[in-house]
A = this chain, B = another copy of it.
């Protein structure tokens, strides 16, 4: 038999479905857990992590969007909601009048500081406790390779 390129091999299918299934279950579980221990959704948490990752916890909206891989309008709407709740604030960009900065507020910082330890414990418990070091590195390598492929594919040369 010639290999059938119109579907995945059994081995690939197992990996692909496992990947999708694992992501779906994990984010559902982690999201519920986060809601239970804090006032934050997984999306809120991601935004706060991306901000507090960086000096002064202040970033340009576009940059934040690239990092999160969110549609710009989704990000804008989400920031508006988070701003109303006092978790972040927008500031003008002095060097480019079109641009905007987002900053974490004290309340935002307090919220992520309060939620992070329990959230991380849950991630560790559900994921890293069942993976050994080679598996962790294999996952990191895999993501790196796929993301590189996606990147090179974006700007076809």
| Residue positions of A touching B, CB distance < 8 A | 5-8, 11-12, 14-16, 18-19, 21-26, 28-29, 68-69, 116-117, 120-121, 123-131, 133, 135-150, 153
A135 contacts B146, C-beta separation under 8 Å:
no
Write the chain B residue with the least CB distance to A22: B143
Give CA–CA (A142, B116) in the complex, Å.
24
A6 contacts B117, C-beta separation under 8 Å:
yes
List chain B residues, Cβ under 8 A from A116: 6-7
Write the chain B residue with the least CB distance to A6: B117
A72 to chain B, nearest CB (A): 13
Write the chain B residue with the least CB distance to A42: B20
List chain B residues, Cβ under 8 A from A143: 15, 18-19, 21-22
